[in-house]
Amino acid sequence: MHTVWKGAISFGLVHVPVKMFSATEDKDISMRYVHKECGSPLSYVRKCPVCEKEVEWEEISKGYEYEKGKFVLFEKEELEQITDQANKSIAILDFVDLTEIDPIYFQKTYYLAPDQAGGNAYQLLKEAMQQSGKIGIAKISIRSKSSLAAIRVLENCLAIETMFYPDEIRPVTQVPNLPENVTVNEKELGMAQMLIDQLSESFNPGKYTDDYRARLLELIEHKVTGEEIKIAPAKQETNVIDLMAALQASIEASRPASVVTDPGKPKKAAKPKAKTAAAADDKQAAGAEAPKPKRRKTAKKNETVS
C-alpha cells in the first residue's frame, strides 16, 4: 500500500513513530466526457477570461473571495506556516468510549503501522487501548487540512478515523418538513416492530455488493464487444396508501420459506380448510342438504360386515 502520511502518535510523553495507509478505496467506475461527433475525450483548460489565454501551474496561486470579484492571494509558503503539518504529530487529547461518538462525525479510515524502531511503543499503545476498551481522540493535519481523529484498535492494527469538527455538522433543525407532534397508530407500530425483528440479524458486510457497479461493468463489456443493448422499461412506482397493508405484505415477504426435510419425498397435499360458520349458514339458507354424520355411516358399514 502507498504511504499517505508519516509522523508519530504522542500521548503523554510517549512517542510512537507511524506510517499511515488508506484503509479504503474508491471503486467507482471513472467516466470521461467525450465529443459525440468524433469520439475524442474532452480536456479541461485553465484559461483566464480576462487575458484570454491558458494559464500554467506556476502562474497560479490560491485566493479567497472576500467580496464579489475581490480576492486576497496566498503563496504556498504562507499557508504552510499556519498548518500543523510541519510537526507531523498525532497528539492524543483524550480517551473516550467509542459508543459516545455518533457515526455522523466519521470521514475516512486509515491504517497505522509502526515506523522504524517504533514497534515496542506501537504494541504497548495497542494493548493498552484494547484492554481499556477506549479510543483516542486526537488532532492531525493531512494535506494542509486539520482534522479531528479517532484512534482505535482494528483487529491487530491501529486505525485512525478522520472526523468532522462539531461546527461542520449541520444541525437537524435545518432539515425541512420534519413531522412534529404526530400520533403513531399502535397497531402499525407493533407491525413495524415485528418487521424489524424479522429483518434483524448479525452484521455481515460480505452479503452487500455494489449492484450498480456490477451492472455497469456488464454493460461496458457488452458495448466493447459490439453487442446490441436493449433498454428495459423502467418500473412504475406506485404510492402506498394503506400503510397497514404494506406492513403486512412486508412481514409476509420477509418470512423464510418452509424447508423440506427430505427432498426425495413429495410434499403431502394440503388439507382443505374447514368451512367457516358463515359459509355453512349461507349453504343452509340456500336449502342445501347437510352432510350425513360419520357415526351413521360407520354403523351401516358394521351391519354389512356382520
pLDDT for res 280: 45
Sign of CA dihedral 163, 165, 167, 168: negative
CATH of region 3-24+81-169, choose from 2.30.42.10, 2.40.290.10, 3.40.1010.10, 3.40.50.2000: 2.40.290.10
pLDDT for res 272: 46
Query: Under 8 Å CB-to-CB from 150, ≥6 apart: which residues?
Result: 98, 101, 106, 135, 136, 137, 138, 160, 161, 163
Cell matching residue 194: 415485528
Q: What is the mean pLDDT of each run of 10 residues along the chain (306 residues)?
A: 88 86 87 90 88 89 91 84 69 93 94 88 93 93 84 94 93 89 88 88 86 86 82 65 78 70 45 45 46 47 40
pLDDT for res 237: 61
pLDDT for res 142: 81
Candidates 258, 277, 276; CA nearest to 268 is 258
pLDDT for res 260: 44
pLDDT for res 134: 94
Phi-psi region of 158 (alpha: psi -120 to 50; beta: other; left: phi over 0): beta
Give the start-to-end residue ranges of the domains of the chain.
3-24+81-169
pLDDT for res 80: 74
Candidates 118, 142, 129; CA nearest to 22 is 142
For residues 154 and 151, give the distance between their C-alpha atoms in angstroms, rounded to a whole number.
9
pLDDT for res 236: 67
pLDDT for res 275: 45
pTM: 0.67
Cell matching residue 241: 396508501
